[in-house]
Amino acid sequence: MEPAKTNPRTEELLRRASQDDESAVAELLTMHRSKLRRMVEIRLDRRLAARVDPSDVVQEALITATKGLPNYAAKRPVSFYPWLRVIALNRLVDLHRRHLKAERRSVCFETPMLNAHLPDESRMDLAQRLLDDGTSPSRLMQRAELLARANEALAKLEPGDREILVLRYLEELPAGEVAEVLGITERTVWRRHARAIERVSAVLGRNTE
């Protein structure tokens, strides 16, 4: 699978970073800080909220990325943000394992997509966004009941399909980056996205008579 096309500014910064331009490295990493923080906040187990600051996770990931940037720039296995995201996600995985090691059921980061671990609050946020996106006829139900049904529908989706919705609606990644994150084609992303939306809609519409 070909890497998604990197935007021109990122390409320019990568070129300069490969020539040891420290200002380019700083800008390149900083421009993705907010996206990384959003990803960490979405994935962070709420039991760690008092012990783990998402900003610290991101900062540690950026330090690691700085060290690995020359090798990345030389090989470019994927586009830049998916590469950076993996570094942050690995750091988050380590933190979950360290702090929740006594609660094995909570550490669900064993699959390549890491789709098994999504805090209840994040799944509810996803349900809210799907409703706001016009996935279902909210006028036919009380809002609270509709939201509960959307959350239930998401819980019943195949993990891979749910992960595509998480990446698209919560992490707000373009389809090309979703494809790279999951190791599938962009066409497959759209096909599975449509399937997931259809199944959520079907559950929501089941009792709308």
pLDDT tens digits along 20-48: 899 999 999 999 999 999 999 999 888 88
Q: Which of 101-105, 130-134, 146-150 has the lowest average pLDDT?
A: 101-105
CB 148 within 8 A of CB 142: no
Which candidate, 103, 88, 152, places its Cα nearest to that of 126?
A: 152
Structure-token match 């690691």, residue found: 64
Closest CA to 204 of 140, 159, 132, 158: 140
Please tell me the distance from the alpha carbon of residue 16 to that of residue 179, in angstroms, as a whole number.
Answer: 27
Q: What angle do CA 131, 108, 54 make, to 5 degrees?
A: 70
Mean pLDDT computed over 6-15: 85
Residues sharing a CB contact under 8 Å with residue 203, sequence separation 6 or more, in sequence order? 149, 150, 152, 153, 156
Residue 135: count other Cβ atoms within 10 Å of its Cβ.
Answer: 19
Q: Where are the beta strands (DSSP E) in 103-156?
A: none
Which residue type occupies 95? L
Total-model pTM = 0.80
Average pLDDT, integer, range 182-188: 94
What is the number of other CB atoms lying within 10 angstroms of the CB of residue 56?
12
Give residue 117's pLDDT band: very low, low, confident or very high (50, 70, 90): low
Whether the per-residue pLDDT at 152 is higher than 90: the answer is no
CA 102 to CA 64: how far, in whole Å? 27
Q: Answer yes or no: is pLDDT of 55 > 70.
A: yes
Query: Rounded to an integer, what distance in angstroms lies between the CA atom of residue 162 and that of residue 127?
Result: 11
